[in-house]
Structure 1
Amino acid sequence: MRIYPCTLEEYRDLIAVSLGRKPPDVWLKNAAYLNVYTGQVERGHIYVSGNRIAYVGDKEFAASPNTQIIELEQRQIVVPGYIEPHAHPCQMYNPFTWGVSQLRQGAVLSINDNLSLLMLLGERAISFIEELDRISSHMFLWWCNFDQVQAGDRHLLKTWLAHPLVIQGGEFTEWFQLLQGDEELLERLYLLKSARLRVEGHLPGVSYEKISGIAAAGIGADHESLNAEDVLKRLKLGLYASLRYSSIRPDLPDILAGLAGDPRFNLNRVMLTSDGPSPHFTEEHSIPAMIKLCMEAGLSAVEAYRLATLNPATYYGLYEDLGGIAPGRLASFNVLDSLNEPAPLHVMQQGTWRIWNREDMQPADEAAIASWLHTYFRPPRVPAELVPEQIREQGSTGIELVNDVITKPYEFIAGEPLEDEESFITLLDSKGNWTLHTRIKGFASGVTALASTYSASGDTLLIGRSEKGICDILQELNERGDGILVYFINGEKLHIPLPLGGTMSAGNMKEISESLGLFAFRMKQHGYRFRDPAYTLLFLTASHLPNIRMSAKGLYLVKNGHVIASPVRLDTR
């Protein structure tokens, strides 16, 4: 499959350049390059016609005065552009900013989650991804959520499935409903398979037998392996396995140690993903960082690079366009200082140098991009106010944090004073219609109040040591605008503006990374014990993670769906 088909004229020129009958647009003269097909570092001429590679080999063709001739240094090497196979482009950064950051790190293409776009934009999400495709130098393809937002909208689902920028369904979080016989979900999954799309799983801690049933349904890959044994389960059952190195699951080094030298692990069916890192982890968990970790763990250089190039291109059927340095492929590749340093010095994207000496050749007009983003992502929240009397405990079951994202229920005595590790937590509907209230344990004892519009459900999270503190911080958030606002016990305040849909910054990656880095640092200073507080805020309302969550249906147990407490309408309090 070709992402960007040639016009007839481009096709004709490509063949003419490949045969030496027409001069190339770009000539990398006698360059060292990694041949991922043979596993060798080779040296030869690389000729580019338009946006594609026309020729790779020893023969020297005539150039023209318009040919850009590049002679790299002897130590430098050309490698295929990297592919991020599993991205979440709305993690406080916006999709455009995500693409800029990825291209700087040599990732020429990412496969992206459309769930946030569906929640924020609805049917306008299609026009957004089309405009993004036109203005971004990074290439975006998308997966189509089919088990959450689009559950009741078969027409919208079919529209996404037919779109040329959509190549996958997923990530499939509600698989347990399928195994329990959910007919509607089965039919939607059948639509995906009939459209000949890949389906990505979400299978953390799932048994071999259940993965077998899910594989039978057509799920082709999964990114939730927690150890080498999990990887082997997936490979045995015919799935591809993406090894994850994310800000909340930095498992890659341990997984690599577990599979090193074991012949059962077919690395041709393994990929690498950062799974949507927080902004301040985007470099630490970049594809270059992952490739380097693989080499340090004992994988050969070619094995490590294949995990981020040829393997995802093969899995997604994009091998005619990407994955290697060969004729007919898109001229999307990286120039490295050496094979041991995967972070690129130069990046060519579709025949144009976008990064040179690690600097953007054509930096975006940030003000214009921000203006464009604001036309799509408007504040979805209806500002509402609360008074302490409206915040009343509902039962005696609270949420205890096990780590950044995993929770468990615990019991407290309603009406009793908070313990040192406890805070009140309220979920306020984005339309201001209802609230849900309980306690949270193990969050951050030095935080007197926190308000966040950044949540998986799009509702506002309010956490505080007193009902009055919750009301006060909500009022200030209404005045400042959407984002994250924190009051610390020492009187310090911290505000992170997220004006795009209440969940994303309009700034560049450096700006949002510095803000989130400071937020994480301050939170840890004030009692937060885990790695990434932003993900804790995001996932307290996520329906696919164990064990107890808050949502529009109430405080409930994920495993069996039991509702412990229901939301209360504000006009009834």
Structure 2
Amino acid sequence: MLNNFSKHPLWECHKTLIRVAQGQEPADIVLRHVTLVSVTTHELLEDADIAIAAGRVAYIGIEGHTAEHCIGEKTEVFDLAGAYVAPAFMDGHIHVESAMVGPAEYACAVVPHGTSAIMWDPHEAMNVAGIEALDVLMKDAERVPLKCYVTPGSCVPAVPGFEDTGATIDAADIHEAMKRDEICGLGEMMNDPGVLSCADGPLAEIEETLKAGKTATGHYTMGDTDRGLEAYIASGVSCCHESVTREEALAKLRCGQYAQLREGSAWQNLKELAHAVTDNEIDTRFVNLVTDDSHPETLVSEGHIDRILKKAVAFGIDPISAIQMVTINVAQCFDLAQDLGSVTPGKCADIVVLDDLKDFCARLVFIDGELVARDGQALFAPDPYAWPAKFLHTMHITDEISADTFKIPALKKDGSVLPDGKAYVRVIASSAGSTLTKEEHLEVPVRDGALLADPAQDVLKAFVFDRHHEGGQHACAFARGFGIHGALAQTVAHDAHNLLVVGDSDEDMAIAARDLIASGGGEVAVQDGKILGKVALPLFGIMSTSPIEKVAHDVAGIEAAWKKMGCTMPSPFMTMGLLSLACIPELRLTDRGLVDCCRYCFVPLLVEDGD
């Protein structure tokens, strides 16, 4: 694959590199007296020099050799006095939309932390606006040095027939997408039941990806690590970030699938998954470290890949192996190792200078031989992007929303109304730090023909409204795990990103829903008729047009509101946003109804005899 994410393709500049390496031409930049992290040999090479020309590494001086012969009058020389130099970091699976800003603003946040490339699955925005979303997002991304490789959404909608989205992506769309320079693979194939049943839709998308010689990325959540997993891998899906136990990760590695160990803002799996490495004497070449979802406050206050590296080392993974997991391993996973992933002759000069291999603080960051960040500050500043108006107005709910909208009728299968008292209902149970839910059967009060929330059991009402089409089609259920009094609403509701409202007060739920409809989407917390916190996200209803620091401030404010309302979860809005994700077990709610995500069928809210 020709890597278009470089100052010059290798075939265009290799004569220059040959001459610089031999001292026949001067280098553009020379880094002197570094401790080079060799990800190709798992070594630390002390007192090394690195010569850079045409945006690529021309020469590394090791074993007592220096790059003095590469220095000319105009060569910029950095004497780094023993500082560590490593390949700049790559995130092998990320949804930029979870940072709630566009890709250019996202780059300003992550590049100073040593990140040079991301493998971005924009299926969040594509669920709202399809290929058009990809087009406009990439125009924004082209303005910054961060290498935004794309794996276009494979499951739009995530579960066909079970939800309403703003767009549909099929194999024909994937065929055309694979022709684009920025496409490095297929977005996470969440339809694992479809793959295992040889359904035409998902297999056709994988086929188009493999025909193009690109990487099909995965999302395998089924518990079977024997026949099911191996069948899924045999389809051509070569990496997966959905492991939650060490056994799952190890099973994938043994079957030749890249295990992408995840540590995001809400899904903090690395402490458990690190044991797949530390408890076994295994080769780690098929291990990646990925973030999947990082919200803006995490990026601003804790960092990006550097944050994961710090945790990986704390969990017992040796530093060089950890760096391999975010550099050369990622490049090889996506067939980009000819250009990326190591500081070796011919590779793009994507380099990070580190003070140590414990905290991984980036002193200098180079991308294609250009100094793009210093001491935690980006040295580039793109102007605000002029987003097309239609992408700032994607809320199309036209029905009147009132407190009465949130009454849940207590109707049996035969249409009769339950008497006052109590009734068993299906409840979606969420837990902190997990993408999975549990189906619970609990009693809730019945009064005047309606099912009520039960705050004493932490059982809240949950509603999902189709926001992509005129009207207000919606479905209802009950949820627990959030522990709040009041109402929470958000349009960051994976993956269709419809309007999701949770609460114990019909009045507060109506206020929250109406506010987001009026403001174009986002997140809002309401208690006793008052808005306690809000994050406005008018771009596709899931992203802001403000600087990431402003968004992080607003996110911190709404998280404080959640705590005031009684919630103790970390990043609770991210956990809430998965209540509608019908491709992960066990029970979810979409705008069409309550979905059993193990059997893939709609199920009734009431639990009656025979259920």
Q: TM-score, normalised by structure 1?
A: 0.90
Quickly say closer, same or farther: Cα 1:62–1:238, change in 2 above 3 A. Answer: closer
Separation in 1, partners of 2:582, 2:272? 28
Name 1:476's counterpart in structure 2.
515
- Displacement of 1:110 in angstroms is 0.5
Separation in 1, partners of 2:524, 2:94? 26
Tell me the amino acid that sits aligned with residue 270 of structure 1.
V
SS in 2 for 1:207: coil
Name 1:142's counterpart in structure 2.
150
Quickly say closer, same or farther: Cα 1:342–1:375, change in 2 above 3 A. Answer: farther
Tell me the amino acid that sits aligned with residue 124 of structure 2.
S
Name 1:38's counterpart in structure 2.
41
- Displacement of 1:485 in angstroms is 1.8
Aligned mate of 1:120, from 125, 128, 137: 128
Q: What do the CA deviations read for 1:146-168 (whole angstroms, capped 9, x no partner)?
A: 23348663331211122221111
1:145/1:169 contact within 8 Å kept: yes
Aligned mate of 2:359, from 336, 341, 348: 341
Quickly say closer, same or farther: Cα 1:549–1:441, change in 2 above 3 A. Answer: closer
> 1:86-125, aligned counterparts within 5 Å?
86-91=93-98, 92-125=100-133
Name 2:297's counterpart in structure 1.
280
1:428/1:436 contact within 8 Å kept: yes
Moved more, 420-429 or 321-330: 420-429
Unaligned runs of 5+ in 2: 158-166, 412-423, 606-611
Name 1:429's counterpart in structure 2.
466
Name 1:55's counterpart in structure 2.
59
- Displacement of 1:101 in angstroms is 1.9
Name 2:419's counterpart in structure 1.
none
Aligned mate of 2:486, from 430, 448, 457: 448
Quickly say closer, same or farther: Cα 1:443–1:505, change in 2 above 3 A. Answer: farther
Name 2:598's counterpart in structure 1.
559
Tell me the amino acid that sits aligned with residue 380 of structure 1.
T
> 1:140-179, aligned counterparts within 5 Å?
140-149=148-157, 153-179=170-196
Tell me the amino acid that sits aligned with residue 231 of structure 1.
A
Tell me the amino acid that sits aligned with residue 463 of structure 2.
T
1:246/1:285 contact within 8 Å kept: no
Quickly say closer, same or farther: Cα 1:145–1:157, change in 2 above 3 A. Answer: same
Quickly say closer, same or farther: Cα 1:333–1:376, change in 2 above 3 A. Answer: farther
Separation in 2, partners of 1:389, 1:489? 17
Separation in 2, partners of 1:124, 1:477? 23
Name 2:402's counterpart in structure 1.
387
SS in 1 for 2:237: coil
Unaligned runs of 5+ in 1: 567-573
1:245/1:285 contact within 8 Å kept: no
Name 1:378's counterpart in structure 2.
392
Separation in 1, partners of 2:394, 2:105? 21
Tell me the amino acid that sits aligned with residue 195 of structure 1.
A
SS in 1 for 2:34: strand
SS in 1 for 2:524: strand
- Displacement of 1:228 in angstroms is 1.8
Q: What do the CA deviations read for 1:338-364 (whole angstroms, capped 9, x no partner)?
A: 233312111011111111122222233
Name 1:571's counterpart in structure 2.
none
Separation in 1, partners of 2:303, 2:248? 21
Name 1:497's counterpart in structure 2.
536
- Displacement of 1:409 in angstroms is 4.8
Q: What do the CA deviations read for 1:111-162 (whole angstroms, capped 9, x no partner)?
A: 0102123223323234325423420211111112223348663331211122
Separation in 2, partners of 1:249, 1:152? 27
Name 1:251's counterpart in structure 2.
269
Name 1:81's counterpart in structure 2.
88
Q: What do the CA deviations read for 1:471-528 (whole angstroms, capped 9, x no partner)?
A: 3333333444422121125956212111211111122222222222232233133222
Separation in 2, partners of 1:62, 1:562? 66
Question: How many correspondences in the alignment?
Answer: 560
1:391/1:437 contact within 8 Å kept: no
Quickly say closer, same or farther: Cα 1:128–1:16, change in 2 above 3 A. Answer: farther
Name 2:228's counterpart in structure 1.
210
1:451/1:473 contact within 8 Å kept: yes
Aligned mate of 1:400, from 428, 433, 441: 428
RMSD: 2.6
Name 1:518's counterpart in structure 2.
557
Quickly say closer, same or farther: Cα 1:299–1:476, change in 2 above 3 A. Answer: closer
Separation in 2, partners of 1:403, 1:558? 17
Q: What do the CA deviations read for 1:289-312 (whole angstroms, capped 9, x no partner)?
A: 222233333333321211111111
Quickly say closer, same or farther: Cα 1:151–1:181, change in 2 above 3 A. Answer: farther
1:193/1:218 contact within 8 Å kept: yes
